[in-house]
């Protein structure tokens, strides 16, 4: 009997001393496990006889109940303490913003590129790419600008030493070589836009040696000038978000299109300030924003496309330039100064991805 009482005392002490759920479990196993102290006592009852067995059995059952009850109570205490600790440690201040406000800004060139992709994407165009370092063939010859062609002088080209003493490479002077690369790798119908960096040796308030263009190319069996006009008018009005923006097509010349047209949009220059919009069709109310035309048959052939069967249009414009016009940025050179104050002022909040549905 004494033994049994001592067992109860020591088990209850151990239960009280258990300072974690793991420690408590260890005590439980040491009492009720296969070789536990109470389990062993229960087993040894069989060796006693008669009344002694009965008495001892009853006493042991009392000990067992007391210890189990103590364990359950201790378990509840420990659980409560753990919850309490988590509540004080994992405290959440619901008045804080969900995450730190992002300090970075998207460059207007990135923003406007995304806007163009959103608009042309809606029209069914996909994005194509080509290398910044081009060969003479893709930048010039394939675009119907042969070596002695005067149009080569129009582009103030940066030349690079050719590899292994080979022909000179160029930094592409426009995105039009992507037209050729797309024709070489895909079959009509083709409907792509190609945004990217372009390079010319030129620098003033509206020219930088590196700038950006976006090219569009559509080729199939039936596309005609009407489609070209519709596509460009729709783009201009969506991009500048002016539904009655005047758009004018003026005859021009590019070696790689025939016929060729420059595209003007409506503007006002009143008070020395340039504003895009519908200000009437006065002679001074036009601003040139892109070159366009029907793809020259020779260009199709250079791209490996049968010009007797296929036709289409192309156009190209300066991304930086339309960014300046849309967002009122006066000097192109500031685009590439990497000035944190400039990007804070003219930059765009990231994650607000432009879309035709949610806004550009």
Q: Which residues bind ligand PHE (CB under 6 A)?
A: 174, 176, 215, 254, 257, 291-293, 314-316
Comparison of 105 and 302: residue with beta carbon closer to ligand PHE? 302
Min dist CB 255 to ligand PHE, Å, is 9
Comparison of 263 and 343: residue with beta carbon closer to ligand PHE? 263
Comparison of 27 and 332: residue with beta carbon closer to ligand PHE? 332
What does the alpha-carbon distance between residue 128 and residue 359 come to, in Å, rounded to a whole number? 24
Structure tokens at 265: 């949009």
H or E element, residue 213: strand 210-220
What does the alpha-carbon distance between residue 292 and residue 256 come to, in Å, rounded to a whole number? 10
Cβ–Cβ under 8 Å, residues 288 and 264: yes
Min dist CB 99 to ligand PHE, Å, is 42
Comparison of 37 and 197: residue with beta carbon closer to ligand PHE? 197
Comparison of 234 and 288: residue with beta carbon closer to ligand PHE? 288
Backbone angles phi, psi at 14, to 5 degrees: -65, -40
Helix, strand, coil shares of the chain, percent, nearest 5, are: 45, 20, 35
Min dist CB 150 to ligand PHE, Å, is 15
Structure tokens at 102: 């992002």
What does the alpha-carbon distance between residue 128 and residue 119 come to, in Å, rounded to a whole number? 15
Min dist CB 137 to ligand PHE, Å, is 16
What does the alpha-carbon distance between residue 313 and residue 306 come to, in Å, rounded to a whole number? 15
Min dist CB 134 to ligand PHE, Å, is 13
Comparison of 140 and 240: residue with beta carbon closer to ligand PHE? 140
Task: Please count the other Cβ atoms lying within 10 Å of the Cβ belonging to residue 263.
Answer: 24
| Residue 180 CB contacts under 8 Å (≥ 6 apart), including other chains | 137, 138, 142, 143, 299, 302, 303
Min dist CB 103 to ligand PHE, Å, is 36
Comparison of 254 and 310: residue with beta carbon closer to ligand PHE? 254
Question: In terms of Cα–Cα distance, which of 327, 352, 335, 355 is closest to 101?
Answer: 352
Min dist CB 213 to ligand PHE, Å, is 6
Using a 10 angstrom Cβ sphere, with 0-12 exposed, 13-18 middle and 19 or more buried, the burial of residue 279 is middle
Min dist CB 247 to ligand PHE, Å, is 16
Cα 195 to Cα 40, 149, 150, 213, 346: the distances in Å are 82, 26, 26, 6, 21
Comparison of 106 and 214: residue with beta carbon closer to ligand PHE? 214
Residue in the structure block whose two tokens are 């290398």: 131
Min dist CB 130 to ligand PHE, Å, is 13
What does the alpha-carbon distance between residue 172 and residue 133 come to, in Å, rounded to a whole number? 6
Comparison of 7 and 314: residue with beta carbon closer to ligand PHE? 314
């Amino acid at each position: 009997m004494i033994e049994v009482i001592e067992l109860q005392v020591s088990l209850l002490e151990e239960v009280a001393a258990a300072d974690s759920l793991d420690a408590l479990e260890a005590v439980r196993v040491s009492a009720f496990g296969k070789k536990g102290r109470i389990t062993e006592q229960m087993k040894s009852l069989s060796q006693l006889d008669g009344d002694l067995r009965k008495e001892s059995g009853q006493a042991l059952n009392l000990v067992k109940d007391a210890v189990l009850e103590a364990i359950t109570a201790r378990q509840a205490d420990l659980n409560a303490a753990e919850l309490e600790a988590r509540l004080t440690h994992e405290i959440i201040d619901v008045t804080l913003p969900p995450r730190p406000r992002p300090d970075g800004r998207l460059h207007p060139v990135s923003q406007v590129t995304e806007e163009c992709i959103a608009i042309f994407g809606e029209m069914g165009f996909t994005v194509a790419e080509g290398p910044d370092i081009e060969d003479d063939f893709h930048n010039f010859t394939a675009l119907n600008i042969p070596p002695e062609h005067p149009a080569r002088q129009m582009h103030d080209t940066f030349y690079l030493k050719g590899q292994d003493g080979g022909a000179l490479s160029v930094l592409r002077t426009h995105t039009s070589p992507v037209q050729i690369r797309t024709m070489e790798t895909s079959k009509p119908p083709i409907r792509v836009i190609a945004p990217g960096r372009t390079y010319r040796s030129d620098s003033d308030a509206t020219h930088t040696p590196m700038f950006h263009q976006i090219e569009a190319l559509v080729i199939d069996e039936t596309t005609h000038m009407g489609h070209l006009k519709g596509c460009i008018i729709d783009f201009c009005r969506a991009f500048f978000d002016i539904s009655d923006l005047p758009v004018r097509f003026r005859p021009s010349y590019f070696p790689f299109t025939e016929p060729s047209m420059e595209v003007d949009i409506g503007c006002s220059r009143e008070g020395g300030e340039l504003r895009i919009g519908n200000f009437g069709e006065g002679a001074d109310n036009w601003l040139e924003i892109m070159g366009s035309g029907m793809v020259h048959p020779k260009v199709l052939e250079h791209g490996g496309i049968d010009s007797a069967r296929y036709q289409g249009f192309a156009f190209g414009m300066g991304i930086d330039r339309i960014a300046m016009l849309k967002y009122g940025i006066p000097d192109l050179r500031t685009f590439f100064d990497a000035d944190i104050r400039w990007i804070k002022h003219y930059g765009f909040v990231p994650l607000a991805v432009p879309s035709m549905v949610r806004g550009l």
